[in-house]
Structure 1
Amino acid sequence: MTESGLRERKKARTRQAIRDAAVELFLTRGYHVTTISDIAERAEISDRTFFSYFPSKESVLFADLEPAFNRLEELLEAPARTAGALETMRSWLGGDLLAENSSPELDALIDDLLAADARPVEAKGLEFMARIQDTLTRAIAKDLDCADTDAMPAIVASAAIAALYRATRHADGTLIRSDEFTLAQFDRALDFIRGGLGGIAGQHSNSIDPRP
């Protein structure tokens, strides 16, 4: 293995050690009382090294989701993408996001923090959604082949992001623990969005999301 390859493996191990130490402390001591210094000490690194990998505690909390969201951006921005943006998002939800191996305990912790109105945690979650919404808007605009001034791609992307969020939660706001039910919820929302798009299809030269 090359020297650069060894460096990358060492970085990956350090990042994982930080993540594992943080999650253990979050679940045993509590999220709010755990400090970055606590995490660094448990991972046997310095505080400075922690910040070389993560900008905040919230970033560690959502570390398991980062690869999945990066993957969606790659899929939507792929030059050779043939599926519509919404269908690409649907495939990603079933094949990437729900396949992430975050622990049920960590999922429950995030859910509890969001329910308790933990603002930094909520802000980090919204940051992920904003990233995806921007990427999805560009992908939809490409599918529609519409003018830069057309608001429709942003409107559709907003609806899809709202559907993604709501598909993971029950009506009372608690997290859904069934992947099958989440997908069914999202599919219902996509059918609704597609129905609306059918009404404007004649205004654009391309179909936004042809059904497979």
Structure 2
Amino acid sequence: MSEGPGLRERKKLRTRHALIAAALELFVERGYEQTTVSEIAAAADVSTRTFFSYFASKEDVIFHNTREGLERVLRVIEEPRPGDRAIDLLTRAVTSGFSALAFDERLQREIAPVNALVMTVPSLRARGLLLLFESQRELAEALHRACPEEVSLVEASAVVGAVIGGGKLAAFVSMSNGASPEEMLAAGRQATELALSALRAASPPPS
């Protein structure tokens, strides 16, 4: 079996990771708005054209993991097990998201600089809020499709908003109070678990 495709994919991942690392370092050192795409490419030792083959803009570098993370939790919801209720699917989806973060040291290193940029750069804050809204919408629609007899679209939107919104808020509040990346993740996880516990208590299994 040829190893060509695997080697090419690893090379692409290395280039992608190099661009992300270079961009974040420059954003922190020089400021997001002051850093150009050409400077990021040069720092990663690639051409500007290569940068645009991986990312459409500087903003896309900041939010590079958003779609991948969303699709991970969507897969959980879209593949229910026999007897699963909406709260079971949402719990498992949230757990899978936090587990992925816990085992990805590279993403953990990015949490602090990315969140600091999102909180301080107006254009990134706006993009972050839009992505959060869109992610919650997709999750709510998926939950409703998976359990149409149990939760309406409005109800699915409410529970997703409570769990995901609560976790995001707790993480950002902890960051604004000087928490480390590990403490931010812990705060977000605690908030989602509290929300899930409240929802589970409000929706006991049928007798």
* TM-score class normalised by the smaller sequence: 0.7 to 0.9
Match of 1:162 in 2: 165
Q: Label 1:86 to 1:170 Cα distance change in 2 as closer, same or farther (>3 A).
A: same
Deviates more, 1:1-10 or 1:25-34: 1-10
- Does the 8 Å CA contact 2:136/2:161 hold for their aligned counterparts? yes
Deviates more, 1:17-26 or 1:101-110: 101-110
Cα offsets for 1:39-65 (capped at 9, x unmatched): 011122222221110111122123355
Q: Does 2:46 align with 1:42?
A: no
Q: Which runs of 5+ in 1 are unaligned?
A: 202-206, 208-212
Higher helix share: 2
Q: Determine helix, strand or coil for the equivalent of 2:39.
A: helix
The more displaced of 58-67 and 168-177 is 168-177
**Matches of 2:114 and 2:150, distance apart in 1:** 39
Deviation for aligned residue 1:128: 3.8
- TM-align CA RMSD: 3.2
Worse overlay, 134-143 or 29-38: 134-143
Rounded to whole Å, the distance in 2 between the matches of 1:34 and 1:148 is: 46
Point out which structure has higher relative CO (alpha carbons under 8 A, 6+ apart): 1
Instruction: Within 5 Å, give how 1:63-212 maps onto structure 2.
Output: 63-64=64-65, 67-78=68-79, 80=81, 84-102=88-106, 106-116=110-120, 118-146=121-149, 150-170=153-173, 173-174=176-177, 176-177=179-180, 178=183, 179-197=185-203
Task: State the AA in 1 paired with 2:132.
Answer: M
Relative to the length of structure 2, the TM-score reads 0.76
> Closer, same or farther in 2 for the Cα pair 1:53/1:152, shift >3 Å?
same
- What aligned pairs does 1:4-43 form with structure 2 within 5 A after superposition? 4-43=5-44
Alignment check: 8 A CA contact 2:72 2:97 kept: no
Aligned length: 199
Mean alpha-carbon deviation: is it higher for 47-56 or for 69-78? Answer: 69-78
Q: Does the CA-based 8 Å contact 2:77-2:89 persist in structure 1?
A: yes
